[in-house]
Amino acid sequence: MLTTNPFTEEHELLRQSVRKFIEKEITPYVEEWEKNNICSRDVFRKMGEHGFFGVTFPEKYAGSGMDFWSAVVITEEMAHANIAGLAMSLYAHTYLPLPLINALGTEEQKNKYLAPALKGEKIAALGITEPGAGSDVAGIITTAKNMGDHYLINGSKTFITNGTMADFVVLAVRTGEDNLSLLILDKETKGFSAIPIHNKLGMHTSDTAQLFFENCKAPKSCLIGEEGHGFYYIMNNFQEERLLAAVTGTFIADWALKKAKQYTMERQAFGRPISKFQVIRHKLAQMAVTVEACRSISYRAVAEFIEKGSNAVEIVTMAKAFTSEECMKVINDALQLHGGVGYMEDYGLARAWRDARLLTVGAGTTQIMHEILGKLILDEVNYQNNLQKRQ
């Protein structure tokens, strides 16, 4: 359980390194990337060269072997830089497909895909969502037919982050009527194509695509883990994604609160700074309480995840559900306190508002989070009732 500041001197040195990197290699180019609806592949290479992708991965595969708090440090700095679109592409590369390869992959797969991805030499994507199967993973219909010496893949995926940029995709496919499996598919595979999706509300810097598979041949060596176990692998893998979504929402809100405090102290109305008005001070106080609540539940979720792994699903789900909704309230209030200028792109709040809106949808909608929590809560009640009966 978290009782003190979780960040060590090593974490803070990492923080300073990431902050300098963002100032030099990211901030000057964000507007260009936003306009073009995609970031540069070069930023992946540079992130890899600095070791930022591999902080939580084994040193054997170009990682640093640090704990999950190091991933939180990077997430916080990205959120404070107000570059959520790029951050999502970087996290979708690192913490969606790569943990699956690290945990379940063969040595050949780790050397061919994991190590180059952590070095930034290859870009990765995770292909789960389909036009008819979003949060309903069991509804996936993309098939991988066992042809003896290879799989034959047919189907499509949608809303795939890094879809057009990826050198390889970890795919969730149906290998039997009741079986889901995970396969690695190289971009150059014949029959594999990707079409970018541009008409998004936010996250403009993030590459989002539809993927299509028409009789794609994948060697048997591309199977990750055991055939038919894909559903369980995917469910366990969601925890890191949801944790980082919670941290992202928290610190976008923290950034927006800082912007609002500074602006209200500078903005004059009726002969004094608007921060002197009680209604403004009370709104800032309410925003500060919300940010602290988001930070507290996010940090507690990270601490329990480090301690319990996938058994921390309840608090992780709570953190995702709570922060994704509450961060939007803080960002919206910050925009309101800026008045007309908050509605302009120049102040960054419009982008933050657009980008953060995805957090209630991505990595499982708020409604799905509540459904998961409802089942967990009732399961606990049933367990306690049965325990009392036995006593």
Q: What is the mean pLDDT of each run of 10 residues along the chain (391 residues)?
A: 82 98 97 93 97 97 97 98 96 97 98 98 97 84 96 98 98 94 98 96 97 98 97 92 97 98 97 97 98 98 95 96 98 98 95 98 95 92 63 58
9-118 maps to CATH 3.40.50.920: no
User: In whole angstroms, how far apart are CA 297 and each of 246, 304, 324?
Assistant: 9, 10, 12
Tokens found for residue 317? 């789900």
- Name the class of domain 124-229: mainly beta
Reported as a single tens digit per residue, the pLDDT across 22-60 is 999 999 999 999 999 999 999 999 999 999 999 999 999
Of 238, 178, 173, the C-alpha closest to 372 is 238
Between CA 71 and CA 250, with CA 2 as vertex, the angle to 5 degrees is 50
Measure the CA–CA gap between 303 and 246, rounded to whole angstroms: 13
> DSSP letters of 237-286?
HHHHHHHHHHHHHHHHHHHHHHHHHHHHHH-EETTEEGGGSHHHHHHHHH
Delimit the domains of the chain by residue range: 9-118, 124-229, 231-384
Measure the CA–CA gap between 235 and 128, rounded to whole angstroms: 11
The pLDDT value given to residue 84: 96
Residues 147, 151, 153, 157: is their CA dihedral positive or negative?
positive
Strands 272-273 and 208-219: unpaired
- DSSP class of 40: -
- DSSP class of 194: E
Question: Domain 231-384: what homologous superfamily?
Answer: Butyryl-CoA Dehydrogenase, subunit A, domain 3 (1.20.140.10)
What pTM value is reported for the model? Answer: 0.94
Reported as a single tens digit per residue, the pLDDT across 138-189 is 889 999 999 999 999 999 999 999 999 999 999 999 999 889 999 999 999 9
Task: Check if 9-118 and 231-384 are the same fold.
Answer: no
Amino acid identity at 279: V
Q: Is 241 assigned a catalytic role?
A: yes
Q: Which of 241, 266, 304, 307 is catalytic?
A: 241
- DSSP class of 219: E
Tokens 């070791």 map to which residue? 51
The pLDDT value given to residue 385: 66
Is 56 in a helix, a strand, or coil?
Answer: coil
